[in-house]
Structure 1
Amino acid sequence: MRARLGTLLPPVLALGLASTAVLGVRLDDAGSITSAPPDVARAVPAVARAAPGVRGIQTPITADLREHGGATGVLRPGRFSQVAVTWHGTAPAVRVSTHTAGAWTPWRTIETLDDLDLNEGDGTRGTDLLPVGTSDAVRVRVSGGHARELKVVTIDPGPNRVADATDPIALAAGTPTDGASPVATSASATPASIADPLPSPPAYTPPSHYAPQPYLYSRADWGADETLRKNPPEYNQVMMQIHVHHTASTNSYTRADVPRLIRGMYWYHTQSLGWNDIGYNYLIDRFGRLWKGRYGQGRNAPVRGAHTLGFNYESVGVSMIGNFETANPSTYAVSMLVKFAAWKADYWRMKPTGYRLVTSEGSDKYAAGTQVRLPVIDGHRNTNDTACPGRYLYAKLPDIRKRVQTRVDNY
């Protein structure tokens, strides 16, 4: 039987912490927070689960937390930098405001997460996981839908790794520094320069008859706690498609932020949504680095992901870290997507510019048993009612398919 993560665990389950204590979440007047928070008004039941370097809190939104307009009061779960809301039932509209760097942020809408699989979880649904910077309080507004068992999820994914004189860090070959402005849009800020947290990849010599595998950063590189995984990985019999996603998160992260972002997604997918593992098979950051997502043995193992409802059984899912509904992906990220898709398409003998007739297992767009003609390399919106992978990235897919085909033809 799969573990049900949406239900309450013991009051606090803290793994990897020096001690175990009941963690309360404060509820105060929404306008009262200052740099010196007031005394606790009352405690709110919360569920905490900590993995090495990661601390997550799930706070039930009970009737006594609701204020007029569906908003909660101020919730104080301790330090966090990622936030989401989960529920059972139909999706509500969710907006959040966080107390970040000493001030309240404007209210922001968090979209519903559409990356899922029928075979995993306990029916818990949720929003995208929103990076918010280091914060100490959150307010939530929920409206519409028929949601029950609502919870606010706040995650502290742990510290960045910082290089020092005894830990020399080099840039991966062909990728930019933080000061390189890889995202060509005024909507994305360029972060301050910091050291890369990972070593340079070794040289790779591919077989002559396949497009080469790009360098792949491992789960250990981003700090996966393998005890959070649920059931053993499932494997597909065939790979016919490459589904392209975005994480709908920030576009202004630094190189050293990436492992933390992935650790937070992993915790959220497994501990809040109850999935077996992180949903994506692979992820690509804005610096053009490829990261292994879902666990599975073998370089080309056809691991079944939880990324494209109704179409996970014959595909691989890759997610670009960022929000490409509001900004263009970087040239480095797009170049890596081309290399990744060429590697997978050539190995599984897919035609990058071609189409496949596939049968839906049941999605919000195509009922179970429906046969659909889809591009071999498609966007999430081709299979589900979602904006993913964002309009700017989706508009680039025709050119990406051509570039992938050219790369495959040259090997």
Structure 2
Amino acid sequence: MRANLVSSVAVTCTAALALPLSLATPAASLPPAGPVDLVSVGSVDTDVAGSTQSLPLGPIGTTDRAVGGTATQGLTRRDVRPFSLLGVVWDDARAHLHGTVQVRTRAAGGSEWSPWQDVEIHNEEHGADPGTPEAETAALRGSTAPLWVGESDGVEIRVRPQAEGDAAPLPAGLRLELVDPGPERAAPGPRSGAAAEATADSARGAAQAAPTVEEAAASSVNAHLGAPSGASVIPALSRAATVAEATEAVFGAAAAKPYIGPRPKIITRKGWGADEKMRAKSFVYTKAVKAAFVHHSATGNNYTCRQAPSVLRSIYRYHVKSSGWRDVGYNFAVDKCGNIYEGRAGGVAKPVLGAHTLGFNTNSMGIAVLGSYTSTAPPAAAVNAVAKLTAWKLGLHGANPKGKATLTSGGGNKYKKGKKVKFNTIAGHRDGFATECPGSRLYSKLGATRTASAKYQGRP
């Protein structure tokens, strides 16, 4: 539990930018020192797994007049409850935000404000395929990508419409979402001494607490992988053991041994602290996993690997509570240290339908590398983790990482609904949608990733 708060809980690189002079905040418009009455400025959604502050945006500025008929919207500098991730949402999920979003924040307990940062606005390329129940829910909202800023208690935001001549109105119902992921949890890993004893005590305490129906369901789908109910980690397997397991369970006892990589260690939803009551109760599956789409989360690189579970819980909460999705959109996440995390619930070995590559979620999986990799090179550990993960998961479904896969467009992307499109088996998000995701620096690594993944599978 944070010191002064109730216990809490798919693009381009974050960049620090100078704010145009027309957006400078007059000193007189700043709120007075001291806490703000949050009830009067927005709503706070709090539960055992975190909290979300939802603050409506309004016209701001005295010198920045309407551009193309739409004024700049935002919030002047203010105190807020502690949060670590932010994003902007609006009422109509089909509406596009034509403009720019810039924010700056103040670290919790500090007095210095960060430089202005861009929030990636093009998030419409993520989400459920058109016509699916998830895409038709009344709770669905338009949204920017989320941005991780670390624990903060002050915020200021500007949403500027396009310049005159290309102007389009800003979407209705703009709100700033401030997400607190709850207490920080380190990714499960080796411990020694007092740390090991504390971890053991925590594990014993968790084991004594009866799991909820939702927790039991999310855990049981991985039980056949050596992860008993409530396990924080699905253990790694040697390639020989993985091949033996897959031959019997997936391909049949009489089948030839498959090409499949060793199963990597995977941190479960329990391991990163997912609140299973938040998501939709049912699991939705496709027929197979023919391809893997690689993404970056566009949340920025300002996180430590110890904070990765908090980043993931924040993204999960933003996808579900703020954007209206049934669960986190990605099937897997990978942090900068190469830790692999279970994403959307339903079983890591199963073909779970995600909401990661609009129009091509069927028969594919989405892997998000936490961070922004347009101008920053992804760490070798993260790239290697993607290779290991795809070698195993694609191998379960008989797919060659160096091969091709044909998927049928569900629409909503650069391909018409029903069009059959051939992709590399390991593809970038930009291959299926007009987007910069997964960032140029990560995208350039995919060729080497395919080669490494095939090698892990034992292919010549």
- TM-score (norm: length of structure 2): 0.71
Counterpart contact for 2:233–2:267, Cα < 8 Å: no
The answer to whether the 8 A contact 1:363-1:383 is kept is: no
Alignment RMSD: 2.8
Partner residue, 2:457: 408
Q: Deviations over 1:213-234 (max 9, x none)?
A: 1111000111111110025121
Task: Tell me the amino acid that sits aligned with residue 304 of structure 2.
Answer: T
* C-alpha separation in 2, matches of 1:215 and 1:400: 18
Distance 2:288 2:120 in 1: 32
The separation in 2 between residues aligned to 1:201 and 1:349, in whole angstroms, is 21
Q: Distance in 2 between matches of 1:229 and 1:404?
A: 32
- Could you say if the C-alpha distance between residues 368 and 323 of structure 1 is closer, same or farther in structure 2, counting changes exceeding 3 Å? same
Match of residue 104, structure 2, among 97, 104, 108: 97
State the structure with bigger RCO (CA 8 A, min sep 6), 1 or 2: 2
**Residues 383 and 35 of structure 1, relative CA distance in 2, 3 Å threshold:** same
TM-fit CA distance, 1:74: 2.4
Contact preservation (8 Å) 2:38, 2:80: no
Residue 276 (structure 1) aligned with residue 346 (structure 2): no
- C-alpha distance in 2, partners of 1:39/1:199? 38
Residues 5-63 of structure 1: per-residue CA shift (max 9 Å, x gap)? xxxxxxxxxxx959xxxxxxxxxx76479999246589644222123241111112145
Q: Deviations over 1:308-366 (max 9, x none)?
A: 00000110111101111121111111111110010112111112112222221113322
The residue number in structure 2 matching 1:320 is 369
CA offsets per residue over residues 196-218 of structure 1, 9 Å max, x none?
xx988755332343322111100
Structure 2, unaligned stretches of length 5 or more?
8-24, 65-71, 162-167, 201-230, 245-256
Cα 1:199–1:317 change in 2 (3 A) is: closer
Structure 1 position 383, deviation (Å): 0.7
Q: What residue in structure 1 maps to residue 415 of structure 2?
A: 366
Deviation string for 1:129-172 (max 9, x for gaps)?
Answer: 11112221211111224311100000111222478553158xxx
**Equivalent in 39, 58, 75 of residue 72 of structure 1:** 75
Q: Distance in 1 between matches of 2:340 and 2:118?
A: 29
> Of 420, 427, 434, which aligns to 1:378?
427
Contact kept, 8 Å, 1:363 with 1:384, in 2: the verdict is no
- 1:206 paired with 2:232, answer no
**Residue type matched to 1:324 in 2?**
Y
What secondary structure does 2:75 align onto?
Answer: coil
Indicate yes or no: 2:116 matched with 1:107. yes
Cα distance in structure 2, aligned partners of 1:104 and 1:151:
21
Contact 2:185–2:307 under 8 Å retained in 1: no
Please say if residues 232 and 269 of structure 2, whose CA atoms lie closer than 8 Å, have aligned partners that are also in contact.
no
Residues 36/109 of structure 1: CA separation in 2 closer, same or farther (3 Å cut): same
- Please give the secondary structure, in 2, of the residue aligned with 1:409: coil
Q: Structure 1 pair 31/126, CA: closer, same or farther in 2 (3 Å)?
A: farther
Supply the AA of the counterpart residue of 2:407. Answer: V
- Code of the residue aligned with 2:369 in structure 1: it is M
**Amino acid corresponding to residue 402 of structure 1 in structure 2:** T
Residue aligned with 1:148, SS: coil
Whether contact under 8 Å (1:30, 1:139) holds in the other structure is no
Residue 156 of structure 1 is matched in structure 2 by 180
How many angstroms apart in 2 are the aligned matches of 1:39 and 1:207? Answer: 59
State the distance in 1 between where 2:300 and 2:443 align: 18
Alpha-carbon distance, 1:276 to partner: 0.4
Percent identity for Structure 1 against Structure 2: 31
Aligned residue identity for 1:342: A
Aligned mate of 2:51, from 55, 59, 65: 55
Assess if the C-alpha contact under 8 Å between 1:214 and 1:340 holds in 2.
yes
Q: 1:116 aligns with which of 127, 144, 156?
A: 127
> Residues 373 and 263 of structure 1: is their aligned pair in 2 closer, same or farther, counting only changes over 3 Å?
same
CA contact (8 A) 1:324 1:391 kept: yes
> Matched residues in 2 for 1:43 and 1:133: separation?
23
User: Does the 8 A contact of 2:336 with 2:378 survive in 1?
Assistant: yes
Q: Determine helix, strand or coil for the equivalent of 1:313.
A: coil
- Residue of structure 1 equivalent to 2:265: 215
Question: CA deviation digits over 1:278-318, x for unaligned, max 9?
Answer: 0000001111111001010x441111001000000110111
Deviates more, 1:125-134 or 1:155-164: 155-164
Give the distance between the partners of 1:34 and 1:336, measured in 2 at CA: 46
Distance 2:348 2:86 in 1: 33
Measure, in 2, the Cα distance between the counterparts of 1:302 and 1:287.
26
Asked if 1:131 corresponds to 2:171, the answer is: no
Aligned partner of 2:198 in structure 1 is 167
Residue 288 of structure 1 corresponds to 338
State how many pairs are aligned. Answer: 356
Give the secondary-structure state (helix, strand or coil) at the position aligned to 1:58: strand
- Shift of residue 72 of structure 1? 2.5
Quick one: which amino acid aligns to residue 155 of structure 1?
V
Does residue 387 (structure 1) correspond to residue 436 (structure 2)? The answer is: yes
- 1:181 matched to which residue of 2? none
* CA deviation string 1:88-109 (max 9, x = no partner): 3221321111123322222211
- Does 2:279 align with 1:229? yes
Identify if the C-alpha distance between structure 1 residues 31 and 158 changes in structure 2 by more than 3 Å, giving closer, same or farther: farther
Verify: 1:82 aligned to 2:88, yes or no.
Answer: no
Aligned position for 1:6: none
Gaps of 5+ in 1: 1-15, 19-28, 170-197
Give me the whole-angstrom Cα distance separating, in 1, the residues matched to 2:344 and 2:37: 42
Moved over 4 A (4+): 29-36, 38-43, 65-68, 162-165, 198-203
Structure label with greater radius of gyration: 2
What SS does the corresponding residue of 2:389 show, helix, strand or coil? helix
Comparing both structures, which one devotes a greater share of its residues to helix?
Answer: 2
Q: Secondary structure at the match of 2:423?
A: strand
Q: Which residue of 1 aligns with 2:158?
A: 141
Letter in 1 for 2:111: G
Deviations 1:369-399 (CA, angstroms, capped at 9, x unpaired): 2222211110000111211101001001111
